[in-house]
Structure 1
């Protein structure tokens, strides 16, 4: 089979397409013939060596394809061995593409309990883009953030996969959604997904402008921070509201004033990925509500995995970037 393999850690150029032996199914594992694999920022960190993945390595957490034994069209749950506690993953938890070969290949071997039916209405690219970002966002909004119909949500950053998924899911669930971005075009794109509007975070006073968009100008019930801007994010939360944090692309550390935090009765919630139960909740929400399909920005052929990573790191995209194992893509 063909696969995008890295033999060292580094920039996008370390990804090279080469031939590998086909994986084989067994009693505990299925082999999926991959039709499409979606990129995530997590893949960039794997490529750079942050997770110490064994080399040579095939990255990729997200994939959709055909079960090689049954012929069923499926999606892959990238959250492996979550454990028995829903509150947090157990010690054996891992993400597909960390320690074992991932989805940047024509075939991938995964635990059988991580194989779910592909939503029929989705294309291969859309289906591949759903699991990691959909699961992560569903857990952040509903399992951790306890977002309910009628509440207000501010999503920091309008263009990434988490942000576009958050707008789609929250709006479908009946929440009032606003976003931040450095691009008017991305704010407009979020509005097409169900957001009421947004503010430019690259302009002075953006927190005050965002709060002015919240019901009664009192701040948002929930603020979703996938970038690590806690101090600004917390300033947009209403008294007694919730800040949900699931990323650190803009900052690895923050300083918060303690007294205003506890006097404000805030909840600070960390989250990542999710369980099979969360994934079932995501699929159920999609089946019961009118949720737009994942936004696909560009599709690259598997052979151009390095170019796809360069594009992901450029920050120019709106929505998900996908590798196709069956076509030349539109890059």
Structure 2
């Protein structure tokens, strides 16, 4: 089978499209002939952390396709079923949080290939209202946004949520999901074009990251901040959040080390909450939520499999608004 394979060098320099052996599913597993897959910043992080001594890996956590083989002992799935993949392995219930979530696409082979083998319980029926392109880019980013907003932040109608770094998959899902429950949404970005795109979705405020947030928010304070950035913007959060507010961190694009004056946390009774990925239970809840509220993924651009490197260059440059995906049924050349 054709696949995007990472091997030999760290980062994007080690990614190429080539041939891998297509294997049969084992007990409790199914094989999915993939139609589409989605890119995530996690993929870049995984490739950056690999060295020349690591074996070949197929990255990719998101995908949707058709079951073409079923392993021994699998019940409830037949060849020919259309499925979307829950990318978190072995996390069933919301409260059973693993020490480190196991995610498809590192250390196990992922979805940037013509087929992938997954545990049968990680397959869900593809939502009929979504195209293959929409289903393929949905899983990880939408799941992360759903858990961050509702399981961890416990966002309620009428509350004001600030989403720094609008444009990526998690941020755009969070914008749509928060608005669906009646929350007020404001966003930030370094890119004025992305702010203009966000304004089309009737956000309350679209704030330049380098500006005075208090001034651009017109003095309004926020109840919830979704943090995927870390130290570059964290001090600004403390200036615009209400007493009893919640900061929910799920990423660290500007680094891991955040210096926080503790009095700025405990005097206003702030909660700083961590979150990552989500459980099988939440994945089902997220799919039902999106169907109920008619939320569809925002697709920035789709690429053929042999242009996977070009797709990641767009993501790395921060040029997208929405999800970047791969069409695994075609090659450009």
1:279 Cα shift? 0.8
**What TM-score do you get using the length of structure 1 for normalisation?**
0.92
Alignment of 1:192-203 (within 5 A): 192-203=200-211
Q: Match for residue 75 of structure 1?
A: 84
The one of 309, 326, 332 aligned to 1:323: 326
Structure 1 pair 226–15 and aligned structure 2 pair: CA distance change class (3 A):
same
Alignment CA distance shift 1:72-1:52 (3 Å):
farther
Which of residues 214, 222, 240 is equivalent to 1:208? 214
**Contact kept in structure 2, 1:222 and 1:244, CA below 8 Å:** yes
What residue is the counterpart of 2:225 in the other structure?
223
Q: Deviation string for 1:103-144 (max 9, x for gaps)?
A: 010000001110011111212221111100000000000000
Name the CA distance, whole Å, in 2 between partners of 1:112 and 1:235: 47
Is residue 304 of structure 1 aligned with residue 322 of structure 2? Answer: no
After superposition, the CA RMSD in angstroms is 1.9
Deviations 1:181-215 (A, max 9, x none): 12222122223334223111122x1x213542xxx
Between the aligned partners of 2:83 and 2:36, the Cα distance in structure 1 is 11
- Within 2, Cα distance between the matches of 1:323 and 1:134? 17
> Does 1:138 find its partner at 2:146?
yes
| Structure 1 counterpart of 2:74 | none
* 2:269 is aligned with 1:265: yes
Distance verdict in 2 for CA 1:15–1:128, change over 3 Å: same
Is 1:16 aligned to residue 16 of structure 2?
yes
1:300-329 Cα shifts (integer Å, max 9, x gaps)? 111111111111111111111111111357
TM-score, normalised to structure 2's length?
A: 0.91
Residues 56-105 of structure 1, C-alpha deviations (whole Å, 9 max, x = no match): 11111111111114211111011111155x24622474000111100010
The 1:295/1:250 distance shift into structure 2, 3 A limit, reads same
Q: Distance in 1 between matches of 2:10 and 2:95?
A: 34
Q: Which runs of 4+ in 1 moved over 4 A?
A: 50-54
Q: What secondary structure sits across from 1:265 in the alignment?
A: coil
Residue 168 of structure 1 corresponds to: 176
| Structure-2 separation of matches of 1:82 and 1:50 | 25
Count residues in correspondence. 321
**1:117 corresponds to which residue?**
125
Distance 2:174 2:140 in 1: 13
CA distance in 2, matches of 1:244, 1:51: 32
Q: Quick check: 2:7–2:54 contact (8 Å CA) kept in 1?
A: no
